[in-house]
Amino acid sequence: YFHKDNFVTSFHTSYSLLDTSIFDDALKDLEDLTKKEEKKEKKEKSTTSDKGEEISPEKKRITKATAQNPSVRTSFKKMNRVAKLVRGVSYREAVAQLTFLDLKAGKLLLHLLNSARANAEKEYQLDPERLLISEILTGRGFGILKRVTRHARGRMGNKIRRRTFVKVTLEEIPLVEGEKKLGRYGRTNAALERERDKLATMVDQATKRAQAQP
């Protein structure tokens, strides 16, 4: 028959027979996990580094923006040939080079550069005048189109249209004293300032002429 005292005594004997080391190990693992999570939260909230130095808001600020397209309608060789021209160049100079480049790959890369610049301005509030193309990754894209080509004497052949993966990374470079130009090559800072002054004078003259007309 069932009795309360018999059930309690049997439970205690069965619990004593169990290996309590399993429960102790599980509790230790839980304590270690909680301690690690607390350390991570403290690091994220703290404004000091491991060495004790204060982290300025400029270091926390994100200075890179990316844009990518996994299936650009051009071959890898054609895109890489154009990407070599603008790697390590400022954004403004790259736009000027690709605008007058009469190649399909140049137009496609220009569209991707503009989307990366839009991401930099809207998401991270970066200055477009200080953006540098730090990286352009190219590789084989997703999806290969197979088409039919016609040969002589009624024969047929296969034509493969390949795609290319492209990823563009723009980085904001802080202004340094004595800097001549931004990037590997292109117009110097002095030349850009002269062009801006010319544009400003032309705008002023145009406004004065418009106001002088009756």
Q: Where is pLDDT greater, at 200 or 43? A: 200
- Tokens (6 digits) for 84: 């070599």
Backbone angles phi, psi at 173, to 5 degrees: -100, 125
Mind listing the pLDDT tens digit for each residue in 149-195?
999 999 999 988 889 999 999 999 988 888 888 888 877 888 878 88
Biggest CA-to-CA distance, the chain: 116
Q: Where is pLDDT greater, at 210 or 8? A: 210
Residues 156 and 148 sit within 8 Å (Cβ to Cβ) = yes
pLDDT at 150: 92
User: What's this model's pTM, rounded to 2 decimal places?
Assistant: 0.63
175: buried, middle or exposed (CB in 10 Å: 19+, 13-18, 0-12)?
Answer: exposed
Residue 199: CB atoms within 10 Å: 10
The CATH H-level superfamily of 64-175 is Ribosomal protein L22/L17 (3.90.470.10)
